[in-house]
Chain A
Amino acid sequence: MTPPTLIFAVGNESRGDDALAPLLLRRLDAWLKKEARSADFELIEDFQLQVEHAMDMAGRKMVLFIDAGMDTPIPYAFYRAQAGDARTPYSHALTPEAVLAVYPQIYQNAPPPAFILCIRGEQFELGSPLSPAADSHLDSAMDFMKQLLQETEAMAWEIQAQQQATGDTIKHEACRTQ
């Protein structure tokens, strides 16, 4: 059976704080096993998002994209992702919004509700370890995830996202408009 919730973690562990999402995914994996809830979640890690990731979303109740961000509010931002598209002239990577836009190309219907957890990173140099600040943001993000995953309905996640937006509109918009 397809686990109802899919969590993508996007990042390169050899690039400093770009490791935030893979590291959070590993913590989540351990926590879900401890809580005996692994069957309800599929965790996928990759360097970049690509078109075929849309196919991983089929049959899910909801999807979460976790990534590190450079100008993201401290310690993280959580918000609803909407389908959209932007080609990046000098990159092959897709945004979560672009992956959502690919979904109906394959399945002729709307993708499942999707959300983004963007964790603030500070430096992304090759070979660098996780920065102390990012390490702290990782702890905060893990605390948030434990709380978020208590909810198993997209509507509850939507409320969480709206609460973040209401609590700190400026921060939320800063992440959304990038």
Chain B
Amino acid sequence: MISHLASASSTAVAAGDIKLPSISYSALSPILVVFGVACLGVLLEGFLPSRLRPQVQPVVAVLGFAAALGCVVSLAGTHELTAANAVAIDGPALFIEGTLVLFGMVSVLMFAERKADPDGGALVADAASLPGQGTHRLAARNSQTEAYPLMVFAVAGMMLFAAADNLLVMFVALEILSLPLYLLSGLARRRRLLSQEAALKYFLLGAFSSAFFLYGIAMLYGYSGTVSLQGIAVSSGLLGKTDFFLYLGLGLLGIGLLFKIGAVPFHAWTPDVYQGAPTPVTAFMSAATKIAAFGALLRVLYVSFAPTQWDWRPVVWLFAILTMVVGAIVAITQRDVKRLLAYSTIAHSGFILVGVAAATQNGISSSIFYLLAYGFTSLGAFAVVMLVRSGDGEANDLGQWQGLARRSPLLAGTFAFLLFALAGIPLTSGFTGKFVVFSAAIGGNATFLVVVALVTSAIAAFFYVKIVVLMFFQEPRAEGPVVVRGSVLTYAAVGVGIAVTLMLGIYPQPVLDLAREAAQFGFVS
């Protein structure tokens, strides 16, 4: 490893020295398929007539994700380093890739919902024009079908992010996943200024955090002379080095990763962006970005920094406690349902960090299981938010949700079930997820952390139950929300969310086994 890198880094490479990397296209096939589908989507945007695009694009995206899922399944059990050791296809990478593809499929259903809004989908074409302007009238009923290829590109970037075994590839993947998300955040049909503000904030803060990430890479390269994750692990075990740059690098890299995760104190963008972005995009971000970013964080900490785990574990403890406490407490005061779900996401990031802090194999398996379970619940909850509307837009103010059970007991019941899952009530996936994460943390001698997590779970349960009470035990307001009839797509998204939440609550064993088998980073030095 070291010798290979040394030869690559020497400046005067003689002509014969160029060593061509071997690329295992089969191991990379899930990522390549998703990238290919995104490129196909771009071509369709260019060559299909505009009236066909809203019908064709979602189908192409879903079929592409299905093909990628097939590739992931056929690769099960692979442990392979490929592309000059830049990409690791191992258990966690494949588990996360498969989950991301499933999240992508469900999100496409929500992107394709065109019936809930009287004017068309949640994503508007020509989002920059103001309502009422000349160009606006023309584009008003169109939806932005570029959203599909953008979203597929984001998924491809996320898959690469979780599989990258080299900090530079990880950085490129971070940008591939981030840039489409910045754009997608600004495409909301309703409350456009809020949406554009969200996109700008996300872009500026995201660019800032990318800079931190890159600076961290520079520090780690300075320390170890390599950007390979295992190379860093090898050189951090050597004696006679000052560790200053190692920790500086980890700190800067960690800021970049924790920003994407939405951990306190790098969470400030989360509520604004989740509130402003179109709801399907918010749902997609809350599920998919989270698992990809946690995948990268786990890989960096468990592969590169395994030899120094006694140094970073207390720091992860601190971030976990901060994230749980701030997320749960600030959520209580929220009046907007999307902001509330955003703070709930932050609190859940804290719970997953508890699993990460375990630094054992159970830490990996419980975290990725939690991420899968949480993602489906979150997708379902945001799909419900899409259906509760008032006037032109979504009824996001919690006051408007008052007495929702009188208007639509089924939808209110569905939302209540998903909220119970987020709160971690038994017989839902939320309980199973919290149980495995907390037991992993106890196994990793982090009992104090688990005590804090249990207390914050109780605080968090309070605001979930508060919404349930609001929906079921209060009279609806006169100008209350309308539960619109969406198309079958949104119902399917809600249905998948409910089904997975219930299944993982009652019979989680198969998925737990899968996560346990997957929980081994290949090639840990």
A complexed with B: no
**Chain B contacts to A: CB under 8 angstroms:** none
